[in-house]
């Protein structure tokens, strides 16, 4: 068997899984002695992770290379911030089915009762005809191992793939080893869709299912992942398990900008808001929001008990920080770049390692990023801090949230005169960049007007547009995507947003609530899911010691947004919304869900200790000089992007917080 000989990447970890050579029979496991890391001050010996990343497949398998190795660094950084310091890593040609099963066996030996374990798998995925009649759609989901054929010969039964049943057995063993006091989180950054791949970019999976002759596929089935009983543990003495997958079974899992796994990056970003009070449901809602920013229309799924605390309540209340890869006095290189919000011009602060959040007592130096690529950045500091890179953590004082433009191609417009006229219209917007490559959208002539399509898969974005409407539609999209990505995480503020499904009756022209229902009946694969005609109200809960003011926006799957709260009274005065400390407020406006979603929809709440009023800003009736609060100032800039305002760098230590509630409407 021909395989690419590789060396496992080592990025400041305590215990590392080393593989020599490329054939399964040559594989051996070796644990290095304890090494110094940036996370040693917070390391927890009971937190351990197994990371399996397959980016380069054996050539004869015909699988396209993907960027799974990037995911190993992303996961080690995000888990390292949570105290994980023991990582077993299996990469590329060593991750055959035999190699993966051996890794699970060795990882189980690492575990002790009451440990917290994470299993992360980045690879291609594929569906295979069910071999035990347990699946409703008669298809098993399977991990495409390094030597798994994409187009096998007739008679192949999946011997070199890792089926979901087999994976479930291995995970159940880990769950049993952890015991009832442990916690197991599984992340699957792969996909099983058999719809093929259209358009540019790297997808994980996308190959046709492996089935026998005459097999009829159910293209509408959305089930994915392990048997539901597996996520509950094999017995009451086993650790509970949560499984998060990058996409539904009938969706493709697209890599983010051909650089890393979308789920891996979404996990990195969402984990920055973790605390001991975070439930898996709240964490998954944040992860869904991040995924909606990275890959619109791709919907991650979750199985398992969603109301329990992340890592069994042992998540650290830690403000996001970056580790130092290289340090030369007043010049340093960081293990984070534009993917993590650090770009040229970002302002950083260096603090003593172990600081939960920046403070004057831990501050060592300030600096500014002068160069950045996707996964690393270089910064110059105000003072020389020596050479011990492990003694410091770096916090972003000001960083970037989202892109401030959209790339658009006009190459599908054949008529040169028409194309030139469109260029003249679109170049007036500072948010639209006309490019021949690396675009998000492309324009075509359609039904007497124009239609915008996503480059990634040619799906429709907007149709029925006149030439004069194009700039506004694109500007609105950029503003919405920016607001979707924008996050504040002031540690002393904690707000919760939830749905209360209701039964309502219309009396004298008004809808009145007759009864409330449990949200658990409306959960589907970890996501609140409603049918057209269902009704609900929103509940805002203040879980901190301060009275907080809030406003709220609604964002559709395209990123377009509307102001949901505040509402304007008949008198012309805008309502003011405030929740007292440790109190809750039910929003009186009843939601009636309409047509099925094309992706994830969301409400986003912005809260501050200062009174907020986005209403006049969104309506265009307020000038910059009359705005007082920090959040109102930001929203003025977002609403003024088309006039050249650029809220490019945001103070991450602002006294504000954001909370997102994602949902979908099913057919």
pLDDT in tens, 91-129: 999 999 999 999 999 999 999 999 999 999 999 998 888
CA distances from 188 to 172, 225, 283, 605 (A): 16, 9, 16, 29
Both tokens assigned to 651? 């103070």
527 — pLDDT class (breaks 50, 70, 90)? very high
Q: What is the mean pLDDT of the chain?
A: 82
CA distances from 338 to 263, 265, 268, 399 (A): 17, 12, 13, 9
61-85: per-residue pLDDT in tens? Answer: 999 999 999 999 999 999 999 999 8
Both tokens assigned to 393? 């953590």
Instruction: Name the nearest CA neighbour of 72 among 86, 85, 53.
Output: 53
The count of other CB atoms within 10 Å of the CB of residue 539 is 15
Distance CA 470, CA 468 (A): 6
For the chain, state the CA radius of gyration: 25
Strands 377-381 and 363-372: antiparallel
CA distances from 485 to 221, 238, 289, 508 (A): 30, 37, 8, 42
**pLDDT at position 144:** 94
Distance CA 450, CA 431 (A): 19
Q: Phi-psi category of 272—alpha, beta or left, where left has phi over 0 and alpha has psi -120 to 50?
A: alpha
Q: Does residue 2 register a pLDDT over 70?
A: no
Q: To the nearest whole percent, how much of the chain has pLDDT over 70?
A: 80
Alpha-carbon 68 to chain mean position: 16
Query: Using the 8-state DSSP alphabet, how is residue 631 labeled?
Result: H
pTM of the model: 0.80
Over residues 245-257, mean pLDDT: 84
178-187, 197-206, 454-463, 514-523: least confidently modelled range: 197-206
Distance CA 31, CA 34 (A): 9
The count of other CB atoms within 10 Å of the CB of residue 646 is 12
**pLDDT at position 508:** 87
Both tokens assigned to 433? 């960049």
Helices (H), 312-441: 416-426
591-618: per-residue pLDDT in tens? Answer: 999 999 888 999 999 998 888 777 776 6
CA distances from 166 to 97, 126, 220, 266 (A): 10, 14, 25, 27
**How wide is the angle at C-alpha 135 spanned by C-alphas 131 and 138, nearest 5°?**
65
29-43, 237-251, 399-413: least confidently modelled range: 29-43
Residue positions counted in the chain: 667
**pLDDT at position 223:** 46
Residues contacting residue 11 through CB under 8 Å, at least 6 positions apart: 72, 73, 76, 335
**pLDDT at position 218:** 60
**pLDDT at position 544:** 92
Over residues 246-257, mean pLDDT: 83
Q: To the nearest whole percent, how much of the chain has pLDDT over 90?
A: 49
**pLDDT at position 193:** 44
637 — pLDDT class (breaks 50, 70, 90)? low
The count of other CB atoms within 10 Å of the CB of residue 475 is 18
**pLDDT at position 1:** 33
Q: Does residue 338 register a pLDDT over 90?
A: no
**pLDDT at position 6:** 27
What backbone phi and psi angles, to 5 degrees, belong to 521?
A: -75, -10
Over residues 284-298, mean pLDDT: 88
As beta bridge partners, residue 88 has: 50
For every residue of 568-588, DSSP letters joined together read BPTTSPBP--EE-TT-EEE-S
């Amino acid at each position: 068997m021909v395989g690419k000989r590789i060396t496992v990447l080592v990025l400041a970890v305590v215990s590392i899984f080393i593989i020599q050579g490329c054939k399964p029979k040559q594989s051996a496991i070796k644990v290095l002695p304890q090494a110094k890391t940036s996370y040693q001050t917070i390391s927890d010996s009971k937190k351990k992770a197994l990371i399996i990343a397959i980016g380069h497949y054996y050539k004869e398998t015909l699988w396209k290379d993907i960027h799974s190795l990037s995911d190993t660094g992303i996961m080690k950084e995000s888990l390292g911030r949570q105290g994980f310091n023991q990582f077993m890593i299996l990469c590329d040609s060593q991750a055959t089915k035999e190699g993966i099963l051996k890794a699970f066996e060795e990882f189980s030996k690492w575990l002790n009762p009451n440990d917290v374990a994470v299993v992360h798998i980045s690879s291609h995925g594929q569906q295979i005809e069910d071999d035990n009649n347990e699946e409703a759609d008669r298809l098993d989901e399977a991990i495409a191992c390094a030597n798994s054929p994409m187009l096998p010969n007739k008679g192949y039964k999946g011997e070199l793939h890792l089926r979901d049943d087999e994976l479930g057995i291995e995970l159940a063993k880990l769950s049993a080893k952890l015991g009832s006091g442990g916690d197991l989180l599984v992340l699957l950054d792969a996909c099983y869709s058999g719809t093929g791949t259209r358009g540019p970019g790297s997808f994980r999976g996308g190959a046709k299912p492996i089935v026998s002759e005459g097999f009829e596929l159910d293209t509408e089935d959305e089930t994915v992942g392990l048997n539901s009983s597996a996520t509950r543990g094999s017995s009451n003495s086993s650790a509970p398990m949560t499984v998060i997958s990058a996409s539904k079974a009938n969706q493709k899992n697209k890599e983010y900008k051909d650089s890393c796994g979308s789920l891996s990056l979404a996990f990195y970003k969402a984990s920055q808001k973790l605390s001991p009070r975070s439930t898996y449901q709240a964490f998954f809602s944040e992860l869904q929001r991040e995924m909606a920013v990275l890959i619109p229309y791709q919907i991650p799924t979750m199985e398992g008990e969603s109301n329990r605390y992340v890592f069994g309540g042992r998540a650290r209340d830690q403000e996001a920080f970056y580790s130092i890869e290289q340090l030369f006095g007043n010049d340093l290189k960081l293990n984070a770049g534009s993917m993590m919000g650090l770009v040229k011009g970002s302002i950083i602060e260096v603090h003593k390692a172990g600081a939960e959040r920046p403070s004057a007592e831990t501050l060592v130096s300030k600096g500014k990023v002068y160069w950045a690529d996707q996964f690393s950045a270089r910064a110059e500091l105000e003072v020389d801090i020596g050479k011990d890179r492990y003694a410091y953590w770096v916090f972003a004082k000001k960083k970037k949230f989202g892109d401030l433009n959209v790339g658009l191609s006009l190459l599908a417009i054949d008529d040169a005169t028409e194309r030139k006229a469109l260029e003249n219209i679109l170049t007036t917007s500072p948010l639209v960049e006309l490019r021949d490559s690396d675009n998000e959208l492309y324009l075509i002539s359609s039904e007497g007007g124009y239609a915008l399509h996503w480059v990634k898969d040619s799906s429709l974005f907007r149709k029925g547009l006149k030439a004069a409407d194009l700039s506004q539609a694109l500007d609105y999209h950029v503003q919405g995507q920016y607001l979707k990505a924008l996050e504040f995480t002031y540690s002393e503020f904690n707000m919760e947003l939830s749905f209360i499904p209701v039964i309502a009756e219309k009396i004298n022209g008004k809808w009145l609530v007759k009864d409330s229902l449990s949200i658990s009946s409306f959960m589907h694969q970890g996501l609140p899911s409603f049918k057209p005609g269902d009704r609900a109200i929103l509940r805002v809960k203040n879980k901190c010691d301060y009275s907080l003011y809030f406003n709220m926006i609604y964002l559709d799957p395209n990123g377009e947004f509307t102001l949901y709260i505040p509402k304007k009274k008949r008198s012309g005065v805008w309502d003011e919304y405030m929740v007292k400390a440790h109190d809750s407020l039910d929003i009186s406006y009843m939601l009636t869900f309409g047509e099925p979603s094309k992706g994830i929809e969301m409400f986003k709440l912005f809260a501050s200790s200062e009174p907020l009023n986005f209403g006049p800003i969104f309506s265009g009736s307020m000038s910059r000089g009359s705005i007082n609060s920090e959040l109102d100032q930001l929203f003025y800039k977002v609403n003024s992007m088309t006039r050249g305002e650029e809220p490019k760098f945001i103070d991450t230590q602002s006294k504000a917080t954001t909370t997102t509630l994602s949902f979908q409407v099913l057919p």
